[in-house]
Chains A and B, each alone.
Chain A
């Protein structure tokens, strides 16, 4: 910045010393520490494209006759919401690019959060003093998934409408509380009244983005305060942080990452079709299509719903717990419950109440790594079960057979994963004792200039 701008800033805000500290702030620069940033920059793209879309979308369920640019739907009755989605796709210049970039950004946003979560989990970054920040992150993951679900349901196309019916059934299936809650949210029995789409819209474009923005701010502050964790490399201790200063090195890298994320999303938004709602047609409660699937981050739930055997828990001839509860509600809550509980569990099991600023390699925490691998395998198996019908169409294994196979795999594979990963961790560590970091034997290299190095 020019000298004049800097002086002007100091005269008006007194912020020079803060800015100076910020510019010299040190970031450890391992590549796996950038995953959270990928999520953050996807969020920025979501806000930017979403703002554009919100200026054209109509959250109204009033019936209208389609007269727009897509002829296979000409003259059909549909809601204004769906008609506005078609309008955006065919009549608004650049509208389809914005829609598709927005949707790809949503998919990548959640994917990046999941990758980031796995990095945090398997390296022990969630330990004190970062456990509260970890809870903030998990909350954001739940909100992000819900945001995505609301977002693609706003379009009122056949696929997402079916998804809303299933979401309604899952809400309804909560014992005792489900019916009052679902009727409250939908303003009556599904499909509800006109006000339901307004609620979805406001939640999606205002309430949840505001909550997310606030949580992201808290999350970043709680990363910056104790400084980022780092690997236990030579020269790295629990009391210091070694890395690149914010300016110019790290800032340019971050800007570069942001531009790369945005660039990738825009390229996909223009070149790869996503959610072509004109091909699905408008939603009616009495219509459905085969092969309807939710976006990937809800795939584990459709797997859960499909794998649970057929029973309602009944008292006499009355239902107490409807079937969708197990796969659609209890399953995701359990997984998130496990994730939330893990820092406390690990502190107790390892009898470790201390602060940690150094990361552990996954192999150095075999219990955590193996448990994490088992839970991940469990979720992944259910996730793949959710796409079993497409697997049938592509590879030809009977759907009913697949259901039974998956029911078995869901029990066997996690146990297998635990056992295998535990063994691999122990093996790798045992090997290092003979020639590795903790070995008394050290490798020394001699450089071209004659100096020695580790």
Chain B
């Protein structure tokens, strides 16, 4: 950052203070306007992003993000949304090429992610999508989710199995990440274009995913919200054990050993 700051300070003394102020404020703006900031801020971010990219991503994705066969695909045209998804969910960077990308702690801070996103976005492609979860259309979201998502992620968002991969639980996904995944189709997830699921549909889906994190558990302790497996465990490990104990209290034990 000091390099970039010194580049601004050098040519214009009058704009130096303003430039420093912009640079100081840019990181706190980044989460709200990832790749769509004002002119100066965007290219600042992009070039910062490039240096981060060269450092952490180019070994698989190539120095110019054109990809390396057998290691990582080209990122030209994938869009800022894709970069934001993979980075903010910690799926990238991978430990080794071909590993299944799984959600983990993001390696980069929010400002670094904003920079990387700006860099990848500079090659074109869909931007970070705008989502506002529409709770008035929760029912439509439930229907869409059942039809397009529940087959892998389970109707309660608990995650599931597809042959060869795990569909993760959705309870940590932000609405933006949901929208991004829907459009990209990361790893083996199918993708849904805007003709199939338009903006309103995605807003409804995002609302349902939000709901699924804290659904109506009118029945009490929800034991995982995936149905009969934990229910059976409770029946055996809680109820059966308790009732066996009651039976032991009521009945006698055998007398032969002199107990």
Contact = CB atoms under 8 A, between A and B. Distances in A.
Contacts of B247: 31-32, 34-35, 38, 257
Contacts of A330: none
A449 to B, nearest CB: 16
A31 B243 contact: no
Interface stretch (A15-23, A182-190, A271-279, A311-319): A271-279
Contacts of B167: 290
A296 B219 CA distance: 19
B218 interface: yes
A389 interface: yes
| Contact-residue size bin, chain A (C-beta under 8 Å from the other chain) | 35 or more
Contact of A158 (B146, B161, B244, B251): B146
A76 B143 CA distance: 8
B146 A272 contact: no
A443 B182 CA distance: 76
Given A32-B251, A290-B154, A272 B219 contact: yes
B215 to A, nearest CB: 6
B236 A288 contact: no
Given A72-B208, A257-B246, A389-B161, A274 B231 contact: yes
B229 A290 contact: no
Contact of B240 (A75, A89, A108): A108
Interface in A385-408: 387, 389-390, 392-393, 396, 398-400
Contact of A74 (B139, B221, B258): B139
Nearest to A243: B252
Contacts of B154: 289-291
Contact of B225 (A72, A272, A276): A276
Contact of A112 (B138, B243, B250): B243
Interface in A257-294: 257, 260-261, 264-265, 268, 270-276, 278-281, 287-294
Contacts of A290: 150-154, 159-162, 167
A32 B252 CA distance: 9
B223 interface: yes
B243 A293 contact: no
A296 B226 contact: no
A100 B218 CA distance: 11
Contact of A276 (B143, B208, B219, B251): B219
Question: Residue among B152, B156, B240 with the most chain A CB within 10 A?
Answer: B240
Contacts of A398: 164
Contact of B146 (A35, A289, A291): A289
B72 to A, nearest CB: 23
B186 to A, nearest CB: 17
Contact of A273 (B221, B228, B232): B221
A437 B227 CA distance: 49
A125 interface: no
B54 interface: no
B142 interface: yes
A279 B253 contact: no
A281 B153 contact: no
A437 B256 CA distance: 8
A71 interface: yes
A100 B161 contact: no
A223 to B, nearest CB: 16
B232 to A, nearest CB: 3
Interface in B171-216: 208, 211, 215-216
A73 interface: yes
B158 A393 contact: yes
B160 A389 contact: yes
Interface in A141-174: 158-159
A233 B255 contact: yes
Nearest to B242: A264
Contact of A71 (B138, B226, B229, B250): B138
Nearest to A71: B138
Interface string B233-245: 0111011101110
A351 interface: no
Interface of B: 138-139, 141-143, 146-147, 150-156, 158-164, 166-167, 169, 208, 211, 215-223, 225-229, 231-232, 234-236, 238-240, 242-244, 246-248, 250-256, 258
Given A281-B143, A295-B231, A443-B258, 19 more contacts: A32-B247, A72-B138, A73-B142, A74-B138, A115-B240, A253-B250, A264-B239, A276-B225, A278-B216, A279-B156, A281-B155, A288-B151, A289-B150, A290-B151, A290-B152, A292-B227, A293-B228, A296-B235, A389-B160
21 contacts: A29-B252, A30-B254, A31-B250, A111-B240, A233-B256, A234-B256, A257-B247, A265-B239, A273-B218, A274-B219, A275-B231, A276-B218, A287-B147, A290-B152, A290-B162, A291-B158, A293-B229, A296-B235, A392-B161, A393-B158, A454-B258
